[in-house]
Structure 1
Amino acid sequence: MFFLPSFPGRFPVGVTTFITPVRPSRAIGSVKLRIPPNSKQERHENALLLEEVAFTAYYPAEVDALSKKGVPWFIRPIRESLHGFAAFLGVSKWLLWPVVYLFGALLKIPAYPNAPLRKPESPLYQWPLVIFSHGLGGSRTAYSQFCSRLAASGKVVLAIEHRDGTGTVCMPHSWNQGRQSEPRTLLYLRESDIHWDDNDAIDIHPLPLRGQQLAFRHHEVYITYSAFRRFVHADPAAHLETIDGTSYNVESWITPDASGTTRVRCDDRVTLAGHSFGGCTVLSLLSTKPLGGYSPIPIDRVVILDPWLEPLPSPGPVPIGKVSISSKGTVVDGSFLSSPETTAALSSQTDGIELDAKVSHPRMLIINSETFTLWKDHYERLKEIVAGWEPEGGKIMTIVGSVHVSFSDFPILPVVRKKTARPIMETISKLALSFLDDTLEEVLKTVPTTGMEIKIIGVKKDGRPKRKLLGNVGDVISQ
């Protein structure tokens, strides 16, 4: 058995994967799956079908001497993961099968499957909630090192399995009268896999498929938050099951303390986080009016790892504020509304009571890889975006020597593990945790830092200069 590296932190980490049904299921967007040649199928099927939402919870766990450690890293069944990685990488599954089956059978996350949620040590304290969105080719386990490090520090992290064709593989069910259908296999979607009907409206989004996938992801984020919040509050309407039907300690999640306080803090100060297209998802969600029919998410902070900006319309994105309204001493907080409509919309619901509305937005931390910071046009746009969100000085941290996949588990996998991968992950986690715990400025005094200096080290194949950041691997550049 291979284990991923252990992670520092005060608490052992539990891992449970939940699913919640979407009834009725519905198509998001107009993109269709292309009919294969010589197929007997007569019509295109919707490519983005919202049937159920899945997410893996990483959390502080209650364990004892009998608790067994080891959570599979590869999505099960292994055969489907093989097909998924082959589709994502664009290679034959026969080239991958020895590696996938070896790692799939033996590779484990050093965490406790379905362990009970730990009771906070202090009365009235609640574990903070983080919702995480993966990037292209990612999964609910592909960022287990980052998510587990947050959990080991005392956070509950919900890593969404996006079923929009951006993951390597997923197996959603449809639900009818409370029953699951047999799962269908959804692999990574490429442009060659999709089709638009001739009568579809022209999509002016810069990357039409990614735009519709972003819309799909919005639904998944809202459903994840809403379903989990209802579950934690023991709402009878909540419907969460484990993805494989295994049992777990429900009471540890829903039993409040003597004062009625739930163990997880869901009603305010929620954090959104994401990598690459997941970071793009966070920016898109925060710059878009909330979807109708969903509970607003009281987002307080965002941690974005190497955000990919190209799928977002330009100029922008621009923040939509968090509304805090006082009326005769009453505060309503946490709704995300478009600023021009905020006061009028809320005034119409308060029977003419005078309102003092203040619009703010979540605090933001960006952690960039060296490769994305050296992507000149992209980095300039990122700085403009952060300035719009944090006019008093937003933080973009760049880690020298890191690459785009440094935020995931891939560089830390056994056999292919790089010597610098784990120290870089430790720095990423330390920066994110200190930001969430309001100690970032203090931590920046303890980690190696350097200034932004770029050296030309050669010429690329296209004739452009090949550049590199000066400094030691793991140094932090703060701008």
Structure 2
Amino acid sequence: MQRPTAVSHSDSESATTIHQPSVLTPLDPDTPALAFSRRGPLKWTDYLGCYLPSYDGLHDVGTLTLELPLSEPYSTYELSSPMKRHDGKPILELHPTLMTIFYPASKRPTEPLWRQALSMSNLMGREPRLQWITLAQIQGYLRFASITSWKRWFLIPPLLLAMGSTKLPTRGGAPICLTKHHRKEDEEKRRRYKLVIFSHGLTGNRTCYSQLCGRLAAQGYVVAAVEHRDGTSSHSLATARTGGKTVGKEVEYVDMVDVSADTRPDNYLIARAFQLELRTIELLAAAKSLASLANANPGWKAIRDANLRVRGAPGWAGDDGANWSDQQWDDFAGAITAARHPDRPQGWKRFILYDPWLETLEHCSEKFLGSLTKTSKGPIIPSDFPCLIINAPGFTVWKEHFKKLQDYFIIDRKDNSNQNCLLVVLGGAIHSSFSDLPVLVEWLWKKTKNLQLDSQKAIKIVTDLTIEFIEFRKSQNPTACNEDVGHDELEAEKFGGGKNRLESFLDLYKPDPNYVHGTNHLHESSLESFQPGKLLVHYKRLF
């Protein structure tokens, strides 16, 4: 990635950036979508357990894990939460920001079997692959599922056998992909990549959405997957340096039983709102750390020296903050509160929410709301919030929740917002379809979770739609320079009818109006009424 000329992510004037053409297959209105084909593992050894399939895209995917101390003003931020554990220690604390960055790496040529065999024993010094799950995280998931301690010991061995060896199909610390015709030292002619900041949902972590994050990286994006230390992760290990030594502190999933009776809120949503406050601080701190990569001084060297996790450190610089896109799969609406904060980076151009859970927004403390740019009296969603919302049918037929979604994003912003807003429902998906779990145990999810859509196909549709929304430019200033001419205008001429790529993509996945599953149900009342693998557009406002 090129080191940009913009001083920081908050600069009002940004460097001119070339909008890369869409990396997706060109859309042809007369040609049906290509038949879907499943992908296999990165190596044959992955077949020994549950495996994550390799990514399809122009690039291999590299990973880099950063754990960075909180900078000012976040390191001294006072949380509103009064919740304490039974021993008197606070439930929520500030910790260093932890994230894994997925980025495009150059394709590695196919190797002979003998070389692959040598790499199995690490004789060739290959890039290490990230482990998908740890024993502590498995225990966290079982605890979240309210499985008692003695039952966990019966479940942990088979789960470890099935998933303990699962690794991401990535290359740890691999050099980032540069332009083909320039040397690595040519800083001014490096490729520029848009940055996506990813926030996990309940019991998630920085690796459990690796199929989604990795596929975006394979298509040419840099994705920073943040692991939250707000008690919503299944388990996280916070690192600190004390007296010249590196020590770790476990941050476990927080249940209401962990909170002492005298500090426990009457409504668990209030506790979740306290967690949302901490999550917002973590997102803003992560954005600030990543934005420092855009500065020539201190830049990458300062990040490398501050990194508490030293494994893997390719020489790459940050993208121009003015072209960052912010993507959230966010159970606690961290994207919304971060967008309302005065420290919101000006370069955040898009917000993508996957099956968002919004119930916590009404329970935030007055202290936290007072720190935001919008008060509790105004709209909860800021007017400058261009967003794509991809819902699974389950959250769509949940009437109380879906009404709240409509009120926040559509009705409350109808008269005072000219921001893009697209709300679609992916038929056949479930709430966890955005994560890796259905990919790993699809047979189990189809039997127990009513999963009707192939897990790999769901990831493909979601990432393709995400890319189309990020790259969407419906109108351009005709006097703009050639570098800023959007790819959509060229596609509009091809289609003749003025449709852009985003609208054409939605047409490709438009439900069959004659689709019937069993009996003829209405879309608002039945999960089965949503056609698997199709996108039902509930609301579209594109400028």
TM-score range for the pair, normalised by the shorter chain length: 0.7 to 0.9
* 2:407 corresponds to 1:399: no
Paired residues for 1:293-304 under 5 Å: 296-304=345-353
Instruction: Please give the per-residue CA displacement for 1:122-166, whole angstroms capped at 9, x wherever unaligned.
Output: 947510011010000111001101111111111111010001110
Secondary structure, counterpart of 2:526 in structure 1: strand
- The aligned residue for residue 52 of structure 2 is 4
Secondary structure, counterpart of 2:238 in structure 1: coil
- Root-mean-square deviation (CA, aligned residues, Å) is 3.5
Match for 2:199 among 121, 133, 138? 133
* 2:337 corresponds to 1:284: yes
- The aligned residue for residue 9 of structure 2 is none
Instruction: Please give the per-residue CA displacement for 1:17-63, whole angstroms capped at 9, x wherever unaligned.
Output: 1100137576633343422xxxxxxx511111112110010110135
Separation of aligned partners in 1, 2:324 and 2:384: 12
Q: Which amino acid aligns with 1:88?
A: F
Separation of aligned partners in 2, 1:449 and 1:180: 58
* 2:149 corresponds to 1:84: no
Separation of aligned partners in 1, 2:359 and 2:240: 32
Secondary structure, counterpart of 1:396 in structure 2: strand
Separation of aligned partners in 1, 2:406 and 2:525: 22
1:414 shift after superposition: 4.8
Q: 1:457 to 1:133 in 2, by over 3 A?
A: farther
1:100 shift after superposition: 3.2
**Unpaired segments of 5 or more residues in structure 1?**
36-42, 255-262, 321-335, 340-358, 459-464
Separation of aligned partners in 1, 2:281 and 2:210: 23
Paired residues for 1:152-301 under 5 Å: 152-176=218-242, 179=244, 181-195=246-260, 207-236=269-298, 238-240=302-304, 244-249=309-314, 251=315, 253-254=316-317, 264-265=319-320, 267-278=321-332, 280-286=333-339, 288-290=340-342, 296-301=345-350
Equivalent residues of 2:132, 2:168 under 8 A apart = no
| Pairs aligned (count) | 407
* 2:107 corresponds to 1:58: no
Instruction: Please give the per-residue CA displacement for 1:186-239, whole angstroms capped at 9, x wherever unaligned.
Output: 2111111113756x9xx7988211111111011111111111221343543844
- The aligned residue for residue 147 of structure 1 is 213
Match for 2:460 among 410, 418, 426? 426
**Unpaired segments of 5 or more residues in structure 2?**
1-44, 110-123, 182-188, 376-381, 447-452, 473-500, 539-543
Equivalent residues of 1:268, 1:299 under 8 A apart = yes
Instruction: Please give the per-residue CA displacement for 1:336-383, whole angstroms capped at 9, x wherever unaligned.
Output: 9559xxxxxxxxxxxxxxxxxxx9613210000011111112112212
- The aligned residue for residue 107 of structure 1 is 166
Q: 1:243 to 1:174 in 2, by over 3 A?
A: closer
Equivalent residues of 1:451, 1:477 under 8 A apart = no
Structure having the larger proportion of residues in helix = 2
Paired residues for 1:320-469 under 5 Å: 337-338=373-374, 361-387=384-410, 388-389=412-413, 394-414=421-441, 416=443, 420-438=454-472, 439-450=501-512, 467-469=526-528
Equivalent residues of 1:72, 1:104 under 8 A apart = no
Percent same amino acid at aligned positions? 26
Match for 1:34 among 63, 85, 94? 85
1:101 shift after superposition: 1.8
Q: 1:313 to 1:219 in 2, by over 3 A?
A: same
Q: 1:385 to 1:121 in 2, by over 3 A?
A: farther
1:184 shift after superposition: 1.5
Separation of aligned partners in 1, 2:528 and 2:249: 45
Separation of aligned partners in 2, 1:101 and 1:89: 17
Separation of aligned partners in 1, 2:127 and 2:384: 40
Secondary structure, counterpart of 2:167 in structure 1: strand
Equivalent residues of 1:374, 1:468 under 8 A apart = yes
Q: Which amino acid aligns with 2:68?
A: T
1:181 shift after superposition: 4.4
Q: Could you say which structure has the greater relative contact order, defined with CA pairs below 8 angstroms and 6 or more residues apart?
A: 2
Q: What is the TM-score with the length of structure 2 in the denominator?
A: 0.67
Separation of aligned partners in 1, 2:128 and 2:457: 23
Q: What is the TM-score with the length of structure 1 in the denominator?
A: 0.75
Q: 1:172 to 1:111 in 2, by over 3 A?
A: same
Secondary structure, counterpart of 1:264 in structure 2: coil
- The aligned residue for residue 39 of structure 1 is none
Structure having the larger proportion of residues in strand = 1
Separation of aligned partners in 2, 1:109 and 1:375: 34
Separation of aligned partners in 2, 1:20 and 1:378: 36
Match for 2:531 among 455, 472, 475? 472
